[in-house]
Structure 1
Amino acid sequence: MKKTAAAALVLLGALLAGCSKTETPAPAAATPAPAAVTKIVVGLDDNFPPMGFRDEKNELVGFDIDMAKEAAKRLGLEVTFKPIDWSAKEAELSGKRVDALWNGLTITEERKQNIAFTAPYMENHQIIVVAASSAIKTKADLAGKTVGAQEGSSAVDAVKKEDAVFKSFKDFKTFGDNVTALMDLSTGRLDAVVVDEVVGRYYVAKKPQDYVVLEAHFGTEDYGVGVRKDDTELQGKLDKALADMKADGAAAKIAEQWFGKNIIK
């Protein structure tokens, strides 16, 4: 009986020792490093000359196109351009259908809620364009008139900020692009168009006999490149590329090709 009891005690001790043994956890799987970004998709309005538009060969050209290509080259990135509905630009960006908005995009406090911007690279005004034969000379003269602007553009916001002027209009119409708005101006369906200065002066220079730019405007604004708010890496890279392009004169050279002068901020 003693031998049996002793054997039982030994067996029990072995079982208890087995139960109290601490299991070593399996090492956690290493988190894979994020894939390096090798290309970006730039969203743009392809009817926004001279910033981005299609030439006679139906190829995308423009000031911002050239700026984006130069920045991408410096960053070692492949860049592709995707025409989008500009009024839905924030949805295109947040939905990851494009990686950047680079097409005369005005930096505003409202847009900063959903978009991260690079430092400004250009200063712009919202100018008022009228027909060369028009009697309109000031903002006050817009009272009782039909005024147009591009839908989803900062021109719409700039005009509405001046509440008294905006309420004095007979009508305020928005268009899918500035080209259509200016065509309606030339045919008399509009009395004035509020448009980005870079665009307005580009068209006025082409047809100085048809259009006049008023001295008054609807404010000064800055252009920047927009990316997703969580894409701080791309934002930082673009900031550096733009700063370098400004410092070494590459941005000025592109500006001079499109505007005849350096308009880089």
Structure 2
Amino acid sequence: MLRWYRIAVEIDSSAEPMKKIAALLMIAGLVTLAACGKKDAEPAKPAAGAATAVVVGLDDNFPPMGFRDDKNQLVGFDIDMAKEAANRLGMAVEFKPIDWSAKEAELNGKRVDVLWNGLTITEERKKNISFTAPYMTNHQIIMVTTNSPIKAKADLAGKIVGAQDGSSAVDAIRKDEKTAASLKEVKTFGDNVTALMDLSAGRLDAIVVDEVVGRYLASKRTGEYRVLDENFGTEDYGVGVRKDDAELLDKLNKTLAAMKQDGTAAKISAQWFGSDITK
């Protein structure tokens, strides 16, 4: 606007009145066109009703997938993956800690938009929610203390085994009917950290836990735990979405595929695991 004002005041004061008027009209027209051009250049606003934010439901005590650091900030592999995906989708992201044993109710009750925290894809869960394509493969490992006499699954007979309530570890134990029937008790906990504490205290004989979580926790207390060679099976992680949210599911699938293709997922994995363990 200052530029047009300068042009106006520099018009020759000796010019004929009609020429002055014509010049001023021309300047006014240019100002109007400039204003219109600026308006046209503004970014398009989201369509009415379009989502501008996504609420991620998670267990905030599930390292290294999602947990709180010493500053009480949420960090982890899945946290970084979700932030990157939301950024690419042009959406704000909010992380909401939930009761993981009630995760499907939280999702279908629309208190969260996705479940993204080391969520295992199972046929049973597929009945209630949809999943993205798998982005990581995991095992349900058996952990014991270093001095434990337990060497294999068969040695779990008559023993108390711990697992996180509502986790796929519980399902994996039950699926192995022979081993499950031989156990004295399967004791469940709100999170794996508490289960590991009970294992250290001798209140449990073993725990069954996601490999990525178990090995991460064990690395923080070198020499205290041992992982058995046998496990309770292989599984895939995916992002859980409501069945009626097909649009978001499609966007997440495309975004995760792009993150894998351009190496972003591998980079995030290397930061948390030392190598690329994404699928």
Partner of 2:91: 77
**Equivalent residue letter for 2:192:** N
Q: TM-score, normalised by structure 1?
A: 0.87
Please report how far the alpha carbon of residue 214 of structure 1 lies from its aligned counterpart in structure 2 after TM superposition.
Answer: 0.6
Residue aligned with 1:174, SS: strand
Please report how far the alpha carbon of residue 58 of structure 1 lies from its aligned counterpart in structure 2 after TM superposition.
Answer: 0.5
CA–CA distance in structure 1, aligned partners of residues 213 and 55 of structure 2:
23
Tell whether 2:85 aligns with 1:68. no
RMSD between superposed Cα atoms in Å: 0.8
CA–CA distance in structure 1, aligned partners of residues 238 and 127 of structure 2:
15
Tell whether 2:257 aligns with 1:243. yes
Partner of 2:246: 232
**Equivalent residue letter for 2:149:** A
Percent identity at matched positions? 74
Residue aligned with 2:117, SS: coil
Partner of 2:100: 86
Partner of 1:218: 232
1:208 to 205, 214, 222: 222
CA–CA distance in structure 1, aligned partners of residues 222 and 166 of structure 2:
27
1:96 to 85, 110, 119: 110
Q: TM-score, normalised by structure 2?
A: 0.83
Q: How many residues align?
A: 233
Q: Please give the per-residue CA displacement for 1:227-259, whole angstroms capped at 9, x wherever unaligned.
A: 100100000000011000000000000000000
CA–CA distance in structure 2, aligned partners of residues 129 and 177 of structure 1:
15
Structure 1 unaligned runs (5+)?
1-32
CA–CA distance in structure 2, aligned partners of residues 148 and 98 of structure 1:
28
CA–CA distance in structure 2, aligned partners of residues 124 and 209 of structure 1:
23
Q: Please give the per-residue CA displacement for 1:86-137, whole angstroms capped at 9, x wherever unaligned.
A: 0000010011000000000000000001111000000000000000000101
CA–CA distance in structure 2, aligned partners of residues 85 and 99 of structure 1:
15
CA–CA distance in structure 2, aligned partners of residues 208 and 173 of structure 1:
25
Please report how far the alpha carbon of residue 208 of structure 1 lies from its aligned counterpart in structure 2 after TM superposition.
Answer: 2.5
Residue aligned with 1:185, SS: helix
Residue aligned with 1:200, SS: helix
Q: Please give the per-residue CA displacement for 1:62-106, whole angstroms capped at 9, x wherever unaligned.
A: 000000000001110100000000000001001100000000000
Residue aligned with 2:82, SS: helix
Partner of 1:165: 179
Q: What does 1:38-187 correspond to in 2, within 5 Å?
A: 38-187=52-201
Structure 2 unaligned runs (5+)?
1-46
Please report how far the alpha carbon of residue 34 of structure 1 lies from its aligned counterpart in structure 2 after TM superposition.
Answer: 5.3
Residue aligned with 2:152, SS: coil
Q: Please give the per-residue CA displacement for 1:38-80, whole angstroms capped at 9, x wherever unaligned.
A: 1000000000000000000001000000000000011101000
CA–CA distance in structure 1, aligned partners of residues 76 and 217 of structure 2:
14
Q: Please give the per-residue CA displacement for 1:168-225, whole angstroms capped at 9, x wherever unaligned.
A: 0111100000000000000100000000000000011111210001110000000000
